[in-house]
């Protein structure tokens, strides 16, 4: 297996995404083929990874993905020189009860693949004490190797010297120290980073990250720390395509598709026909299935309400063939969407769902769904693993429930999805079918 590293942190907000993107571009600029991964159910960061190094990034999710799928995806870097995986939240953060494979933590992913961990430590407001934090992480799980740290948001040369003293005491390598910078920041939105396709100067910004990392970290030492345990070639398969010809909405309003899903569809011989609802395009009339992924329809509700060609095309398709929507796509299939200002916008009207952003409420977490009927080629009773993350409130949901849905604790949630004729939708994003 290609040697790799997990870029992780004690908590969210430490700057690990900046470090990850800078390393990806710096190693690529040095002539290496670098394979990126993202631990956990994030559909925004992989697009940034691809922009940084030119290779598709895949999610590795121990809660939502069966073992065979994890191992299959983990071998996507066999033809690369180096693997870099970005963790999510804190290194050991997961859920309380196991899912398909585990609790969903970045530490589990790193152990499964044999990747040592580099911790990105925010040393703001501390110096030698940062070493105590790192030491706790290094000793918390004896089966996990912490290779060293990168110090972030260092205030001054004196601050750097003091912080490094602590790491000398515990014998943990410091691969670099990044001075505090306020200009190297990607804008964020309520679901995380602004999408890669929306950032007009993304390539320049990632180039600045790479130059910043190359000036302040030891790239050769980082590469030398990479490792992967050998294991047999996985026999698992990627998610099969739900149809032969799939019309997939893809623009600034609808873009949240897990890369491994598209990889599986293409590997299964499906033809993916892209179209843009924001450009008022109808799905290809020859498609067997229309798929509306998640995204930010609430930011473009007025344009979607005025997209007559798109709406008529959906209605014509739904008369004889299936349509499925996830999260934002599900909302767009509904009767109306109320934006943050309280203005109601007409949606496709193929489901009775009415959602509102006027009163935001966060819905976040893993979902296990048992289908109450056939959905896009999956039979009644099929069990799916997914993840839900949105801020909308359901005002009306009059249609038949699509599935019995529970969270990671096994507690039922009211967001069951909907079905009306050939049209279905869910708030959760499908990650994998369990059985």
Rounded CA separation 248/292 (Å): 6
Q: How is residue 393 written in tokens?
A: 């409130």
Beta bridge partners of 120: 150
Rounded CA separation 385/434 (Å): 7
User: Helix or strand or coil: residue 24?
Assistant: helix
Tokens 């799939």 appear where?
246
H/E run at residue 82: strand 82-86
Q: Is 17 exposed, middle or buried (0-12, 13-18, 19+ CB in 10 A)?
A: buried
Beta bridge partners of 246: 272, 289
Count, in order, helices (H) and strands (E) of the chain.
12, 26
Distance of CA 73 to the CA centre of its chain: 14
- Is residue 53 part of the annotated active site? The answer reads no
Residue 426 falls in which region: left (phi positive, over 0), alpha (psi -120 to 50) or beta: beta
Rounded CA separation 330/415 (Å): 11
Q: Nearest to residue 5, comparing CAs of 109, 156, 92?
A: 109
Rounded CA separation 13/11 (Å): 6
- List 289, 327, 369, 371, catalytic entry: 327
Q: How far is CA 20 from CA 3, 150, 224, in A?
A: 16, 11, 17
Q: Nearest to residue 392, comparing CAs of 360, 414, 425?
A: 360
Reduced DSSP (H G I as helix, E B as strand, rest coil) percent helix, strand, coil of the chain, to 5: 30, 30, 45
Tokens 């005025």 appear where?
306
- Report the residue count for the chain: 435
Q: What is the sign of the dihedral through the CA atoms of 156, 157, 158 and 159? A: positive
Q: Is 5 exposed, middle or buried (0-12, 13-18, 19+ CB in 10 A)?
A: buried
Q: Nearest to residue 293, comparing CAs of 264, 252, 321?
A: 252
Residues labelled as active-site residues: 327
């Amino acid at each position: 297996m290609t040697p790799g590293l997990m870029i992780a942190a004690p908590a969210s907000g430490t700057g690990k995404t900046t470090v990850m993107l800078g390393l990806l571009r710096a190693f690529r600029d040095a002539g290496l083929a670098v394979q990126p991964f993202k631990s956990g159910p994030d559909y925004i960061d992989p697009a940034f990874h691809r922009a940084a190094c030119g290779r598709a990034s895949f999610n590795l999710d121990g809660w939502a993905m069966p073992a065979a799928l994890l191992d299959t995806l983990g071998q996507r870097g066999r033809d690369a020189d180096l693997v870099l995986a970005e963790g999510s939240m804190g290194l050991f953060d997961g859920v309380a009860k196991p899912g398909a494979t585990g609790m969903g933590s970045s530490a589990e992913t790193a152990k499964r693949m044999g990747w040592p961990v580099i911790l990105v430590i925010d040393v703001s407001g501390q110096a030698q004490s940062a070493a105590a934090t790192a030491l706790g992480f290094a000793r918390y799980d004896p089966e996990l190797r912490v290779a060293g740290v990168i110090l972030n948001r260092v205030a001054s040369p004196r601050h750097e010297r003091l912080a490094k003293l602590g790491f000398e005491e515990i014998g943990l390598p410091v691969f670099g120290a990044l001075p505090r910078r306020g200009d190297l920041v990607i804008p964020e939105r309520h679901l995380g980073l602004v999408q890669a396709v929306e950032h007009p100067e993304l390539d320049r910004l990632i180039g600045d990250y790479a130059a910043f990392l190359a000036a302040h970290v030891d790239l050769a030492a980082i590469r030398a720390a990479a490792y992967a345990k050998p294991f047999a070639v996985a026999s698992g398969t990627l998610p099969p395509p739900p149809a032969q010809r799939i019309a997939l909405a893809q623009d600034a309003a609808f873009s949240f598709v897990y890369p491994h899903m598209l990889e599986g569809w293409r590997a299964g011989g499906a033809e993916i026909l892209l179209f843009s609802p924001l450009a008022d395009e109808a799905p290809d009339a020859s498609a067997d299935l229309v798929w509306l992924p998640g995204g930010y329809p609430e930011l473009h509700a007025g344009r979607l309400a005025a997209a007559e060609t798109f709406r008529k095309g959906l209605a014509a398709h739904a008369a004889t063939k299936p349509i499925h929507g996830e999260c934002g796509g599900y909302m767009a299939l509904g009767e109306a969407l109320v934006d943050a200002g309280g203005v109601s916008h007409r949606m496709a009207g193929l489901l009775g769902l009415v959602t509102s952003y006027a009163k935001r409420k966060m819905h976040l977490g893993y979902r296990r769904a048992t289908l109450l009927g056939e959905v896009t080629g999956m039979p009644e009773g099929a069990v799916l693993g997914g993840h839900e993350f949105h801020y909308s409130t359901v005002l009306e949901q009059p249609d038949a429930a699509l599935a019995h849905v529970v969270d990671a604790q096994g507690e039922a949630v009211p967001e069951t999805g909907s079905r009306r004729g050939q049209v279905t939708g869910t708030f959760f994003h499908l990650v994998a079918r369990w059985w």
